[in-house]
Amino acid sequence: MADVVPDLEGFCGVISARRGHDDVLGEWAVGLADRTAGAPNTPTTRFGLASGTKTFTALTTLSLIGDGLLRQDTPAREILEDDLPLIADDVTIEHLLSHTSGIGDYLDEEVDALAPLSLPVQRLDSTPAYLPMLDGFPTKFRAGERFSYCNGGYVVLAIIAERVSRTPFADLVRTRVFDPAGMTSTGFPRSDLLPPGTATGYKDDGRTNVFELPVVGSGDGGAHSTVGDLHRFWLALLAGRIVDPSLVALFTERVTADAGDGLGYGRGVWLDGEDLVIVGGDHGVVAVSRHHPPTGTTVTGLANVEVPTFVRVRELMGAIRAAGVGRAD
């Protein structure tokens, strides 16, 4: 790996390349996790994942399908009852998982991915607290008509998951995804009570992101993790330790061939050739984790500033594979 090095210009965070059971091919920690304390980023630093959280929401939902508490064709309305009346009656769990629901989005990335939230962030301290923010958005198109990335749809999945399991969403994801994967440094912390070793997110003007994001995340964002935990996640997923292999196949099935920039989309995961990809970005948060199943290789980039990361991770994975590093034994 001596001659395989990522682009670190302007980067602040951690880039990691791992193979198999925590064989570290290379790891680069750059910049400060906390500028006030002068604490550096390290390979064990926790970072916000933003929309990378959706992958865990999808698998939690699929696990509930595996347990018979939901079906792919369960109408959202069946669980929502009178809440969010503008969500059409034909919208199902399948549509929400695959971003084909057509429901109106509280944070529509086709309009403005960084638009301010309509509620004070400190009020968003549980999944049910998101309900008023999700309400009042007309349908964009008929369910199943096309792909349209939908943040609100994944919060709706979290609401549904809570109701059918009778378990708070963060606890549900922990028991169904994080614990089986051995992700001991991953969870949904309060933004105003971050655990030790967590990076603070910084905006371009130097201020933190504490007033920009919900105080507690839900189905569409807010989980925090480390590069090591994300590698463990991929290995556990593909070993069938999180959900049954039949559900892993459903998760990784290419539902949309091209969801933008040549990437396909399954049910909670981006697909780029052979690679499975988690992607997230928000104020002061960028997260990309790319896994190549044939070689068991993961390349992850987690940043606490808004800096291009997707291309860095893709290029590093390409360089590793071209050099034959991380090749399966």
The mean of the pLDDT values for the chain is 95
pLDDT at 49: 98
Confidence tier at 2 by pLDDT (50, 70, 90): low
Least confident among 63-67, 200-204, 307-311, 325-329: 325-329
Structure tokens at 110: 């086709």
**For residue 128, which of 101, 97, 155 has the smallest C-alpha distance?**
155
pLDDT level of residue 329 (50, 70, 90 thresholds):
very low
d(CA 13, CA 35): 13
pTM of the model: 0.96
pLDDT at 109 over 90: no
Measured distance CA(46)–CA(70) in Å, rounded: 32
Mean pLDDT of 271-281: 97
Mean of the pLDDT values across residues 16-24?
A: 92
Q: Where are the domains of the chain?
A: 13-322
- Residue 300's SS3 state is strand
Q: What is the mean pLDDT of residues 241-258?
A: 98
Q: Find how far residue 234's CA is from the centre of its chain.
A: 13
pLDDT digits (tens, 9 = 90+) for 49-72: 999 999 999 999 999 999 999 999
Q: Tell me the average pLDDT across 112-121.
A: 85
Give the pLDDT mean for 262-269: 97
pLDDT at 287 over 50: yes
Q: Report the candidate in 64, 43, 254, 291 with the shortest Cα–Cα distance to residue 160.
A: 64
Give Cα separations from 100 to 40, 76, 91 (angstroms): 41, 13, 9
CB burial of residue 26 (10 Å; 0-12, 13-18, 19+): middle
Q: Which of 117, 296, 132 is nearest to 213 (CA)?
A: 117
- Burial (Cβ within 10 Å: 0-12, 13-18, ≥19) of residue 311: exposed
Q: Which fold has domain 13-322?
A: Beta-lactamase (3.40.710)
Task: Provide the pLDDT confidence category of residue 328 given band limits of 50, 70 and 90.
Answer: very low
Among residues of the chain, what percentage have pLDDT more than 90? Answer: 91
pLDDT band per the 50, 70, 90 thresholds, residue 326 = very low
